[in-house]
Structure 1
């Protein structure tokens, strides 16, 4: 055989005989030809990559064999779904009240599930048939034919059986009469017993066992001799079950267990029975970032079978047009990552869905869910609130409990298109999450201070995530529609378990609420008896028009005398305010420096001093509370760092309030004096700054919206706005 030798950029051609002497001829291959070869290889690789990309998009004219087979199976299952369901329902109830053997009419019919589950027998025929051992016989069908099939029984053992079929009905329908579920919708060769599939379903929704794990357990339970010497017709039951077989069976169980298809008013398993016609419906929202889905799991093959819980397509279209997410949070608690569009980036490109956002009612029953393509943005919560309000009956109050209710409330107030939701819903923070917020947020959004919530803690969705999060290792490798169907089956199972326990849990909660009401009234009565003489309904006395005029004049004079901090806009605003006060009442005799002017100014200073002392004591109590709370955590923990920042901010607020108080009074106070809550100096105004009164004052002040606070009232605030009521730009949770 001729030998080809290769050198650098030179190829020796095969031996060639030239003329009589048979000389060897060498032929050099040009560099241009090598360059063309490399270019052709690159083009072929590009063409192949483009072809693969087209195949991945599942275009109709570039379908692979696997794609076409999968689509055909899905379409065939859809056509068989109604027939299989009708056969199963007809088997549960006798069609004719007569014996299949003696044809005698009777209401007492029996059915033997072992020998003839498709026959209804009277009692005499049943006893006669089972009196002696006998051989079972087949029913005589017209145009029948036989076929060998692999039958997997309820213990996972494989059997080869000769099955008889009739041409008048499809093979899956015939198998269903024998409680066998076909592995494929057309000409099945393998069938599994329905009890085996029910075991898979029960272990999946109750014990979070994957189908792969169940099939491996079936193999492991067999003796080693059986595994080594017994040949199996079906090598992998897992591959048989994964061809849309198990998904269809789960949906079949759902349809046969719920009767909403017969009448729309019947329950579909997705509605809480305890929330029916309640005056207030309490819903808690949250996201679970355990339930991710990988991009490598494939694209969608169609719509999901369950539509009761998940809102997939709607939320994607909504978020594309939603422009209300701000770059930074608007509320007090800006330390939370939830709701921040800058922190809510998709952290990895390998995930097509980063989490599941959902809701649960006050009875922990699942409500509505959808997958997140980004982080926990505020647009997702707004979308879910709109869907929940549409679902809520007319005349029912909707109360939303969310981890960052304070941030969401500010967001809705500033939104141009969703501000109407502020009047339709009430917001609060779940009871355990409220400890992450500062004290003002705890008072405003605590469920214990919101009417109509009762003892609902708002943590029902967290209990739901503890159950649903265990499906994360299973659903992350599934297609979108199969993932939604499995999670929907799990939610239906979770909700059914809750409804089954309503007779016990609702009675127990009622007894607990009754006992707590009695103990709370007794504790409140003891507290009120120790505060005798205090006027708990009185709020701080407002300044009169003359006192406002004197204080404004003094503030304007101080501003004009301070050349370093002079503000023209503020001077103009104070001058306009003086003109408005003069228009309300004739104040011509109230000139600066007069006796009447100084009397009114002194009275205003006393009221302001009392207000400052009340505010100062509240700030000191809050700082002590934060210090006690900080001692429970170790240094370096995130919550300890957060509390340290709050303590530092509290110190700065106390110093500012002390400085303002010292400017108004000759008697100077220090930080050490005010931080000593047992100081005898505090007893002079103990009745004015009791804890109960401060809560009442705080709630009344914060009932006002920001737009309702007039310019005159904002000018009367000394130094800064009330620490407990309005958000401050430096304040963090």
Structure 2
């Protein structure tokens, strides 16, 4: 590690051995030294690497732009042979940092091929900050890296952009261009475009504007979907198999995913102090929504399409399976899901896992605009669903093996327990259970009618 900051090798260029080697790349695998022309030639296909120059006994920051390299965009790395090119200074934000470059735009007019500046940038995986005479761009790599980090570690745009600036200059002494606000806008556009692309919305003749609510959601392929994964006559299935085609949904509320009111009315004193502004307000008065309600499929834990909605102060909530065992015996026997035919040992607590995943985002989303907040939560839901689906091969197989093993064990215990009762008593119990399953208003056979006095 100590030798990393020193000059290794000989004095001559590693490639041509004719000129003095004083330049190296900080991002390439081999830290060999090149002359100016050789290091430019080596980096024509990777122009956003960090270049360093050996000066006065140590390495200093340099760039391909300082060495005279101009990035050509029009002809896949070659200069345009037709119209005169347009050369512009350009700011490029990549995972390796913030780069000041020069770019050569092609002026050719090719039939049927859009060739505006932003078209050329997009073709080279560069996302411009504007579509009208852009001067800065974000690489697809940095946008994809931030998107993945945001979904996994919940990092904010502010912290990520600060890390890029520190990677470029960790002293904070250089006057780097600030494109933080543009990064916010581009990230939102990138997120929505990726969702539309993965959902196949680009093939719609009417374009993205024809996208309806829920069409970019990642749906659960294991849940029943008529005309997709159900037999033709599934509605008339016998009672013994009807549970296979039933949809189990779980609902829960999250009181951390609040959203503050964007417009705050000041009093006549026009005070800017929070203590004065909130002196006469209730705790939730400054929130546009105090929580969210969510719907998750009960068997597999995926967030449902259009399964989220903001909750306002004053709405009422009921407790279903969550903490049901803390309720009285009568409540348990009436609402216990484990007594429903076909439900088996479904967990039905997946909303809690989803809330644990999304809760760290609440510190950011509560200050966002309503639409940005909604897009952020939807983005995390898509990623959550996708990861669930990719793990179906392991999780469903593991659950099936466990179910087969436990079925054999409990069937043996049930048979052994049944043999300890007379047959006439067993027949009476079976009839009572059958009547109760058909009509829940009938006496519950699982209740204990004995009362201790």
Residue 241 of structure 1, aligned match among 167, 170, 183: 183
CA shift, 1:291, in A, is 0.4
- Asked if the contact 2:126–2:138 (Cα under 8 Å) also holds between the matched residues in 1, the reply is yes
2:216 is the alignment partner of 1:274 = no
Secondary structure at the aligned position of 1:377 is classed as coil
CA shift, 1:200, in A, is 1.0
Partner Cα distance (1:262, 1:219) in 2: 38
- Asked if the contact 1:297–1:477 (Cα under 8 Å) also holds between the matched residues in 2, the reply is no
Secondary structure at the aligned position of 1:370 is classed as strand
Partner Cα distance (1:534, 1:501) in 2: 48
- Asked if the contact 1:698–1:725 (Cα under 8 Å) also holds between the matched residues in 2, the reply is no
Secondary structure at the aligned position of 2:145 is classed as helix
| Counterpart in the other structure of 2:360 | 470
2:262 is the alignment partner of 1:372 = no
2:286 is the alignment partner of 1:350 = yes
Partner Cα distance (1:526, 1:166) in 2: 86
- Which aligned pairs between 1:559-578 and structure 2 lie closer than 5 A? none
- Asked if the contact 1:269–1:496 (Cα under 8 Å) also holds between the matched residues in 2, the reply is no
2:186 is the alignment partner of 1:250 = no
CA shift, 1:536, in A, is 3.7
| Counterpart in the other structure of 1:40 | none
CA shift, 1:292, in A, is 0.4
Residue 377 of structure 2, aligned match among 487, 503, 513: 487
* Structure 2 gap ranges (5+): 1-42, 48-71, 110-114, 205-210, 225-229, 231-243, 265-281
CA shift, 1:251, in A, is 1.4
CA shift, 1:483, in A, is 0.9
2:324 is the alignment partner of 1:434 = yes
Residue 191 of structure 1, aligned match among 120, 137, 143: 137
Q: Deviations over 1:277-317 (max 9, x none)?
A: 3511111001111100111379xxxxxxxxxxxxxxxxxxx
CA shift, 1:373, in A, is 2.0
Partner Cα distance (1:455, 1:139) in 2: 67
Secondary structure at the aligned position of 1:468 is classed as helix
- Which aligned pairs between 1:108-187 and structure 2 lie closer than 5 A? 114=45, 137-142=78-83, 144-166=85-107, 169-187=115-133
Query: Between Structure 1 and Structure 2, which shows a larger proportion of helix residues?
Result: 1
CA shift, 1:481, in A, is 0.9
- Asked if the contact 1:357–1:371 (Cα under 8 Å) also holds between the matched residues in 2, the reply is yes
Residue 215 of structure 1, aligned match among 143, 161, 167: 161
Identify if the C-alpha distance between structure 1 residues 723 and 510 changes in structure 2 by more than 3 Å, giving closer, same or farther. Answer: closer
2:416 is the alignment partner of 1:526 = yes
Residue 260 of structure 2, aligned match among 290, 294, 297: 294
- Asked if the contact 1:353–1:374 (Cα under 8 Å) also holds between the matched residues in 2, the reply is yes
For this pair of structures, how many residues does the alignment match?
Answer: 328
Partner Cα distance (1:113, 1:524) in 2: 73
- Asked if the contact 1:440–1:725 (Cα under 8 Å) also holds between the matched residues in 2, the reply is no
CA shift, 1:371, in A, is 1.1
Partner Cα distance (1:512, 1:297) in 2: 54
Partner Cα distance (2:126, 2:252) in 1: 42
| Counterpart in the other structure of 1:363 | 300
- TM normalised by structure 2 equals 0.64
Identify if the C-alpha distance between structure 1 residues 297 and 525 changes in structure 2 by more than 3 Å, giving closer, same or farther. Answer: farther
| Counterpart in the other structure of 1:461 | 351
CA RMSD of aligned residues (A): 3.6
- Asked if the contact 2:97–2:167 (Cα under 8 Å) also holds between the matched residues in 1, the reply is no
- Asked if the contact 2:95–2:164 (Cα under 8 Å) also holds between the matched residues in 1, the reply is no
Partner Cα distance (1:155, 1:348) in 2: 43
Identify if the C-alpha distance between structure 1 residues 507 and 377 changes in structure 2 by more than 3 Å, giving closer, same or farther. Answer: same
- Asked if the contact 2:260–2:288 (Cα under 8 Å) also holds between the matched residues in 1, the reply is yes
Secondary structure at the aligned position of 1:364 is classed as coil
Query: Between Structure 1 and Structure 2, which shows a larger proportion of strand residues?
Result: 2
Identify if the C-alpha distance between structure 1 residues 206 and 723 changes in structure 2 by more than 3 Å, giving closer, same or farther. Answer: closer
Partner Cα distance (1:701, 1:454) in 2: 18
Partner Cα distance (2:45, 2:124) in 1: 10
* Structure 1 gap ranges (5+): 1-111, 117-134, 299-345, 379-402, 405-428, 540-691, 710-721, 727-733
Partner Cα distance (1:723, 1:153) in 2: 64
Identify if the C-alpha distance between structure 1 residues 260 and 182 changes in structure 2 by more than 3 Å, giving closer, same or farther. Answer: closer
Secondary structure at the aligned position of 1:538 is classed as helix
CA shift, 1:268, in A, is 4.4
- Asked if the contact 1:156–1:196 (Cα under 8 Å) also holds between the matched residues in 2, the reply is no
